[in-house]
């Protein structure tokens, strides 16, 4: 490379200006790119090549620095003695490394997006069809049912559920002390989708069921369609009996579909029971939790007085620990008495 | 004599006999002087007064506002994208939607950071979604379009604030509902006019739905905003 040791010294700055590395390359027809502005236009092959050149130059400068140190440190800070433009080289090296790091980060980001691209390859009528299909349990459980492996529908359903939850939390006047409404809604929905999918996938692995993680994510995501419908209706129309009917019917249908698909992919009675029992319990209980956790306070009180066997889950500030049922019911009754006496 | 010579030698006859022997080295010295002082005179904006810079940027932002309010199919928003307008709109909206102190009763109101994060992360997710579905628009262009199309919702927020000055009643709620619904559909329509062209024809609905959801959430935040007394 160009490590000139005797050519003309055109230093105009004490640290060795950038012109050195270009003019002094006698006999070389290569423009030294390291001292120009590092634009991101170069291709990755060129960058690899230049990185190689930089490494070699680094080695040269390191050798020179080693010999320089051996020579003593008289006023050597700016590299005036010994190799000329040493600091200049180092600065240029830093710039180059920073640029290269940025470029490789950008490359990784791009690569990551492309990994997900095949999972988003859907048409609108396919999405519509799968949405409707998620409420229709399959009949044939003797051979494995096909599960679509796409992520667009599930993601849109999770975001829709976040929006619906936000609406429910707002209208019920939920107070979140240590957090935000949006954060709680997003955390709940995504946490359920990703967490329960992973858990059921793990159980499926234990029970030897033939389902991949992507398929499980997709299945559970589409199962949230029933939840969205029920929550959308019952956050606006507040009748407990309506909620229970919808919970059983729509929640039940979507659970049955997921369960049937899993049964068709598992062998043996006990594994089927474990897997499907867990999934059914989690799915139905989640809908129950979502409804009652963000329910309007007034309706809750009145319904408590009507139906003594249904203690509503109290919506309190999140930092208060769960109290006993008795205390809760006593509080509700006293508040209801005050409300009724006004 | 000359004619005989000319007839004997056709044009360019001797050229094919020319060959460069490999013993002659071809060398030279290509040096490109890095003249960094004389390239910036035409493009440098460092020397102009600050007022000019700000006015130029404001004019560009204002022009894009006009494009949003009357969404024709022009490519001005996409060609010279910038993120100043979205930042301005986002900050204005977040400031107006901000609630009171954390201990107040009306704690369900969104905080400044919440609105900010919703808008920017929502835009990023929509952009990623449209790129994954095979869109040809670039990342920042999409952010720019989505940010600028929040303008009708900001206008609706101002109108709601004014309406709420007259007290919160059913009439005011109806007025606010109409205003917010109109501006939210305007936003969705405007951003669709810019974004949907970059998608394959049969997937427009898949891209429009998240945009609809995004502006719906923002519009709903505006509608349910009630100032503290």
Q: Give the tens place of pLDDT for each residue, A39-74.
A: 444 555 555 556 566 666 666 666 655 555 555 444
Q: Is the pLDDT of residue A201 over 90?
A: yes
Taking CA atoms, A283 is separated from A253, A295, B217, in Å, by 11, 19, 26
Q: Is the pLDDT of residue B1 over 70?
A: no
Q: Is the pLDDT of residue A29 over 50?
A: yes
Quickly state the pLDDT bin for A2 (edges 50, 70, 90). Answer: very low
Residues in chain B: 229
Q: Give the model's pLDDT for residue A310.
A: 47
Inter-chain CB pairs, A–B, below 8 Å = 81
The answer to whether the Cβ–Cβ distance between B128 and A122 falls below 8 Å is no
Q: Which residues from B are below 8 Å from A155, CB to CB?
A: 129
- On whether any CB of chain A is under 8 Å from the CB of B114, the answer is yes
Q: Give the model's pLDDT for residue A178.
A: 57
Q: Give the model's pLDDT for residue A34.
A: 58
Query: In chain A, what is the straight-line distance between the N-terminal and C-terminal CA atoms, in Å?
Result: 92
Q: Which residues from B are below 8 Å from A127, CB to CB?
A: 206
Quickly state the pLDDT bin for A298 (edges 50, 70, 90). Answer: very low
Which of A117, A159, A174 is closest, CB to CB, to B108? A174
Quickly state the pLDDT bin for A319 (edges 50, 70, 90). Answer: very low
Provide the mean pLDDT of chain B: 79
Which of A26, A124, A155 is closest, CB to CB, to B29? A26
Q: Give the model's pLDDT for residue A183.
A: 80
Q: Give the model's pLDDT for residue B181.
A: 93
Shortest alpha-carbon distance between residue A30 and chain B (Å): 8
Q: Is the pLDDT of residue B143 over 80?
A: yes
Q: Which residues from B are below 8 Å from A170, CB to CB?
A: 108, 220, 224
Q: What is the 3-state secondary structure (H, E, C) of chain A?
A: CCCCCCCCCCCCCCCCCCCHHHHCCCCCCCCCHHHCCCCCCCCHHHHHHHHHHHHHHHHHHHHHHHHHHHCCCCCCCCCCCCCCCHHHHHHHHHHHHHHHHHHHHHHHHHHHHHHHHHHHCCCHHHHHHHHHHCCCCCCCCCCCCCCCCCCHHHHHHHHHHHHHHHHHHHHCCCCCCCCCHHHHHHHHHHHHHHHHHHHHHHHHHHCCCCCCHHHHHHHHHHHHHHHHHHHHHHCCCCCHHHHHHHHHHHHHHHHHHHHHHHHHCCCCHHHHHHHHHHHHHHHHHHHHHHHHHCCCHHHHHHHHHHCCCCCCCCCCCCCCCCCCHHHHHHHHHHHHHHHHHC
What percent of chain A clears pLDDT 70, i.e. is strictly above it? 61
Which of A29, A31, A175 is closest, CB to CB, to B107? A175
Average pLDDT over residues A174-203: 84
Q: Give the model's pLDDT for residue A334.
A: 77
Give the 3-state secondary structure of residue B160: helix
Token output for A31:
């423009």
Q: Is the pLDDT of residue B52 over 80?
A: yes
Q: Give the model's pLDDT for residue A245.
A: 93
Which of B32, B125, B202 is closest, CB to CB, to A31? B32
Report how far residue A115's alpha carbon sits from residue A111's, in angstroms, rounded to the nearest whole number: 6
The answer to whether the Cβ–Cβ distance between A156 and B131 falls below 8 Å is no
- On whether any CB of chain A is under 8 Å from the CB of B131, the answer is yes
Average pLDDT over residues A10-34: 55
* Chain A residues touching chain B at CB-CB below 8 Å: 18-19, 22-23, 25-27, 29, 31, 35-36, 113, 116-117, 119-124, 127, 152, 155-156, 159-160, 163, 166-167, 169-170, 173-177, 180-183
Among A100-114, A244-258, B136-150, the minimum mean pLDDT is found in A100-114
Quickly state the pLDDT bin for B100 (edges 50, 70, 90). Answer: very low
Average pLDDT over residues B178-199: 86
Higher pLDDT among residues B10 and B173, named by residue: B173
The answer to whether the Cβ–Cβ distance between A31 and B209 falls below 8 Å is no
Helix-, strand-, coil-residue percentages of chain A, each rounded to 5: 65, 0, 35
Report H helices in B24-150: 40-43, 50-69, 76-79, 84-97, 112-132, 139-148
Q: Name which of A224, A181, A162, A190 is nearest A315 in CA terms.
A: A181
The answer to whether the Cβ–Cβ distance between A124 and B206 falls below 8 Å is yes
Average pLDDT over residues A157-161: 94
Contact of B195 with B142, CB cutoff 8 Å: yes
The answer to whether the Cβ–Cβ distance between A113 and B128 falls below 8 Å is yes
* Interaxial angle between packed helices A181-206 and A269-293, expressed in degrees from 0 to 180 and rounded to the nearest 10: 170
Token output for A57:
């130059």
Q: Give the model's pLDDT for residue B50.
A: 87
Q: Is the pLDDT of residue A173 over 80?
A: no
Q: Which residue of A has its CA nearest to B126?
A: A156
Among A120-134, B8-22, B126-140, the minimum mean pLDDT is found in B8-22
Which of A31, A152, A173 is closest, CB to CB, to B108? A173
User: Which of A88-97, A246-255, B96-105 is predicted most confidently?
Assistant: A246-255
Q: Name which of A231, A286, A278 is nearest A259 in CA terms.
A: A278
Contact of A181 with A118, CB cutoff 8 Å: no
User: Which of A16-20, A72-76, B1-5, B200-204 is predicted most confidently?
Assistant: B200-204
Q: Which residues from B are below 8 Å from A19, CB to CB?
A: 33-34
Contact of A180 with B111, CB cutoff 8 Å: yes
Torsions phi, psi of A59, nearest 5? Answer: -60, -40
Q: Name which of B192, B95, B48 is nearest B57 in CA terms.
A: B48
Average pLDDT over residues A13-38: 55
Q: Which residues from B are below 8 Å from A117, CB to CB?
A: 132, 134
Q: Which residue of A has its CA nearest to B122?
A: A159
Radius of gyration of chain B (CA): 30
Average pLDDT over residues A268-276: 91
Token output for A16:
């060795």
- On whether any CB of chain A is under 8 Å from the CB of B128, the answer is yes
Q: Is the pLDDT of residue A203 over 90?
A: yes
- Residue to mutate among B26, B33, B100, B107, with most A CBs inside 10 A, is B107
Q: Give the model's pLDDT for residue B22.
A: 66
Q: Is the pLDDT of residue A262 over 70?
A: yes
Taking CA atoms, B21 is separated from A39, A59, A90, B16, in Å, by 41, 38, 43, 14
């Amino acid at each position: 490379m160009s490590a000139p040791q005797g050519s003309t010294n055109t230093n105009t700055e004490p640290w060795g200006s950038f012109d050195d590395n270009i003019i002094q390359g006698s006999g070389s027809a290569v423009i030294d790119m390291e001292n120009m502005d590092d634009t991101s236009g170069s291709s990755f092959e060129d960058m690899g090549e230049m990185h190689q050149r930089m490494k070699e130059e680094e080695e040269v400068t390191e050798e020179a620095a080693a010999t320089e140190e051996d020579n003593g440190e008289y006023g050597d800070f700016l590299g005036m003695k010994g190799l000329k433009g040493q600091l200049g080289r180092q600065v240029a090296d830093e710039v180059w490394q920073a640029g290269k790091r940025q470029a490789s980060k950008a490359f990784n980001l791009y690569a990551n997006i492309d990994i997900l691209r095949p999972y988003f390859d859907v048409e609108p009528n396919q999405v519509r069809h799968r949405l409707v299909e998620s409420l229709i349990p399959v009949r044939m459980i003797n051979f494995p049912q096909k599960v679509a492996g796409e992520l667009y529908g599930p993601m849109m359903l999770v975001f829709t559920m976040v929006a619906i939850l936000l609406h429910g939390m707002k209208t019920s006047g939920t107070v979140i002390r240590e957090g935000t409404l949006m954060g709680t809604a997003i955390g709940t929905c995504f946490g359920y989708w990703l967490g329960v999918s992973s858990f059921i996938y793990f159980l499926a692995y234990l029970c030897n069921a033939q389902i991949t993680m992507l398929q499980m994510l997709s299945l559970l995501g589409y199962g949230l369609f029933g939840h969205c419908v029920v929550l959308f209706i019952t956050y606006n129309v507040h009748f407990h009996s309506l909620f229970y009917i919808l919970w059983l019917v729509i929640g039940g249908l979507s659970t049955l579909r997921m369960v049937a698909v899993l049964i068709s992919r598992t062998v043996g009675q006990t594994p089927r029971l474990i897997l499907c029992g867990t999934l059914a319990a989690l799915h139905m209980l989640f809908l129950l939790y979502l409804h009652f956790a963000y329910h309007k306070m007034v309706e809750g009180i009145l319904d408590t007085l009507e139906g003594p066997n249904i203690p509503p889950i109290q919506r309190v500030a999140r930092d208060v620990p769960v109290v006993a049922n008795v205390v809760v019911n006593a509080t509700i009754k006293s508040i209801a008495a005050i409300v009724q006496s006004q | 004599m000359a004619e005989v010579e000319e007839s004997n030698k056709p044009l360019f006859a001797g050229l094919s006999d020319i060959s460069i022997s490999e013993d002659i080295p071809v060398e030279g010295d290509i040096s490109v002087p890095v003249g960094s002082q004389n390239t910036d005179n035409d493009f440098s904006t460092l020397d102009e007064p600050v007022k000019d810079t700000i006015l130029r940027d404001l004019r560009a932002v204002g022009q894009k506002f006009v494009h949003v309010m009357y969404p024709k199919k022009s490519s001005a928003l996409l060609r010279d994208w910038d993120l100043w307008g979205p930042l301005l709109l986002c900050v204005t909206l977040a400031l107006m939607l901000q609630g009171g102190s954390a201990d107040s009763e009306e704690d369900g109101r969104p905080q400044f950071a919440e609105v900010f994060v919703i808008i920017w992360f929502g835009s990023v997710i929509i952009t990623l979604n449209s790129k994954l579905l095979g869109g040809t628009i670039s990342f920042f262009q999409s952010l720019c379009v989505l940010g600028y199309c929040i303008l009708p919702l900001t206008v609706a927020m101002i109108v709601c604030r004014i309406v709420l000055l007259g007290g919160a009643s059913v009439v005011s709620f109806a007025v606010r509902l109409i205003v917010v619904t109109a501006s939210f559909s305007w936003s969705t329509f405007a951003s669709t006019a810019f974004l949907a062209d970059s998608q394959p024809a049969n997937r427009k609905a898949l891209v429009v739905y998240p945009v609809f959801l995004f502006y719906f959430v923002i519009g709903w935040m505006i509608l349910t905003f009630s100032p503290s007394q």
